[in-house]
A and B are shown apart, each in its own frame.
Chain A
């Protein structure tokens, strides 16, 4: 066997270099966050301070619990609203509409996934915040408003992933079920959804990750309160919005900046867990 020529090896080397660079950037990112976070992690009673519920940088209290709670509440609200609707959209795409309608809907959804989040936030400011104020109470700026805006934002992505998952169910299985006297609903619930479940979970995790990481749209409607929120209709803040709000207030080297680094690491860790979960389910 002759050794590959230089030009034959070029593509592999270029690809390898790119991959290496990518890994390096990732490692540097995490390392610089960790380095930034280090002074705070080494401070006395760091854990108790960080886990605490009080965010008062002027007195040295850096409890991130309000933001963790806010992130969880906003993300869960978005999923609870968006997942059932997205499933409905996906089932309609796969079953109800003809080939023509299907193409149109898929195109619209694809375009919607590309709408910048600031536009969703703007819409939330004009429509959702007043709606929450009028129908649920409180100032309107709230975790609930952020959850609704996020739900709308991830709905196209979720729908596309779910539709993709459902369309992968082999026709032979659907026919097999129908031939045993199953109604279309029975086939959907007993064959299609179980078969598509790994891919559905995969899509769910992608949507979840998008909701978890979203900053701008949330920041515009969430209210920015740094205490533990009293309820869904109360204003609050998330990990991402708080980093965004305080990044100019805490210059590098200050304790506050270190805490923001820790919050960023927390987000990264959450994302990592999500991606691993998705891989687990996806490969089943």
Chain B
């Protein structure tokens, strides 16, 4: 089967500083791919080029190709807003808008011109159910999103991303700022979304990568060291550096 995302020879520079060097990597449809590696290894940069969010920063240069289906999203004629509707993103810290719960989830559909209240209500309910938040917020949709707990806010952000019906979901350390219980809920949620969405997730938590991903990619100094089935990466890594990283972390 055709991979959902096919990244070929991707390099990224910040000003003159290389952040990503010749990365070639495919993501299969419906899988959960975890990106691991030490801080500054380029995994977040990689994630942010997949929806072209990296280009919002000044001085960023990208080369190589990223195929989403049969569309090269790097090409200049491609509408970046279209890309971002197909490739959703959840950020490190929950970043709900200072609006109501309802308006947060309805934000994406409204951008696309959905104005019918009935349709919006349906999308909002469905997205909140998918993000396992519906039971906690039903009947309170007019309350401000910022009144929710951190974990609830992050699930709201997931619901907000799902509301535009993306094909790929990028998650940049989505549990980094959450307590263990909220983290468990998010992990459970990712498990439930597997298969339905293609998920690429950066994580610093190796146990998390081991628990919820189908495949794992290890980045070091802006290069992809190896990628493979999670089980194999964690039990029998091919590359010495992967093993060093994994064992170093487990011992500390």
| A interface residues with partner B (beta carbon < 8 Å) | 98, 170, 172-173, 175-183, 186, 190-191, 194-195
A147 to B122, CA, bound (A): 50
- Interface secondary structure of B, over-half rule: mixed
Residues in chain B within 8 A of chain A (CB atoms): 51, 53, 56, 58, 81-82, 84-85, 88-89, 91, 93, 95, 97-99, 107-108, 111-112, 157, 160-161, 164
Which residues of chain A are near B88, meaning CB under 8 Å?
Answer: 179-180
In the complex, the answer to whether A180 meets B95 with C-beta atoms within 8 Å is: no
- CB–CB A195/B98 < 8 A: yes
Contact A178 B84 (CB under 8 A): yes
Q: Is the CB of A175 within 8 A of B91?
A: yes
Picked from B95, B98, B112, the residue with its CB within 8 Å of the CB of A181 is B112
| Cβ contact of A186, chosen from B82, B97, B111, cutoff 8 A | B111
Question: Which residues of A sit under 8 angstroms from B111, Cβ to Cβ?
Answer: 180-182, 186, 190
**Given A175-B53, A178-B53, A178-B84; 5 other pairs, CB 8 A cutoff:** A172-B93, A176-B91, A181-B108, A181-B111, A190-B107
Select B95's contact among A172, A182, A194, beta carbons within 8 Å.
A172
Q: How far is the CB of B179 from the nearest CB of chain A, in Å? A: 20
- Residues of chain B within 8 A (CB-CB) of A182 are 81, 111
A contact residues around B91 at 8 Å (CB): 172, 175-176, 179
> By the criterion CB–CB under 8 Å, are A180 and B161 in contact?
yes
Q: Mind listing 15 A-B residue pairs with CB under 8 Å?
A: A98-B58, A172-B91, A173-B97, A175-B91, A176-B97, A178-B56, A179-B161, A180-B84, A180-B161, A181-B112, A182-B111, A183-B81, A186-B111, A190-B111, A194-B99
Chain A: which residue is nearest B109 at the CB level? A180
The 9 closest A-B pairs by CB, nearest first: A181-B85, A179-B89, A172-B95, A180-B108, A181-B84, A181-B81, A176-B95, A182-B111, A179-B84
* A191, closest chain B residue (CB): B97
Nearest-neighbour CB distance to chain B for A102, whole angstroms, equals 12
Question: Of B82, B112, B157, which is within 8 A of A176 by CB?
Answer: B157
CB-nearest residue of chain B to A176: B95
Rounded to whole Å, the gap between the CB of B18 and the closest CB of chain A is 22
Q: A235 to B70: give the CA distance in the assembly, Å.
A: 69
> Which residues from A are CB-within-8-Å of B84?
178-181
Shortest distance between the CB of A96 and any CB in chain B (Å): 12
- A183 cross-chain contacts in B, Cβ below 8 A: 81
On chain A, the residues within 8 Å of B107 by CB distance are: 177, 180, 190
A186 to B95, CA, bound (A): 17
Chain A residues with Cβ below 8 Å from B51 are 179
Q: How far is the CB of B187 from chain A (nearest CB, A)?
A: 22
Nearest to A180 among chain B residues (CB) is B108
Among B56, B58, B108, B161, contact of A175 (Cβ-Cβ < 8 Å): B56
Q: What's the Cα separation between A172 and B146 when bound, in Å? A: 14
CA distance A98 to B98 in the complex (A): 28
Chain A CB within 10 Å, residue with most, of B88, B93, B111:
B111
Smallest distance from the beta carbon of B192 to chain A beta carbons, Å?
A: 21
Q: Are B85 and A175 in contact (CB under 8 A)?
A: no
A177 to B93, CA, bound (A): 14
Contacts of B89 in A (CB 8 A): 179
What separation, in Å, do the CA atoms of A176 and B97 have in the docked complex? 8
CA distance A115 to B241 in the complex (A): 64
Given the complex of chains A and B, what is the CA–CA distance between A91 and B88 in angstroms? 27
CA distance A3 to B95 in the complex (A): 47
Say which residue of B98, B99, B160 sits within 8 Å of A180 (CB atoms).
Answer: B160
B63 to chain A, nearest CB (A): 22
* Set of chain B residues within 8 Å of A195, measured between Cβ atoms: 97-98
Residues of the A chain whose Cβ atoms lie less than 8 Å from the Cβ of B56: 175, 178
Complex Cα spacing A186 to B113, Å:
12
CA distance A159 to B153 in the complex (A): 34
> When the two chains form the complex, which single residue of B53, B82, B95, B112 contacts A173, counting CB atoms closer than 8 Å?
B95
CB-CB under 8 A from A98, the residues of chain B are: 58
A120 to chain B, nearest CB (A): 36
Minimal beta-carbon separation of B98 from chain A (angstroms): 6
Known contacts A181-B112, A181-B164, A190-B107, A175 near B81 by CB under 8 Å: no
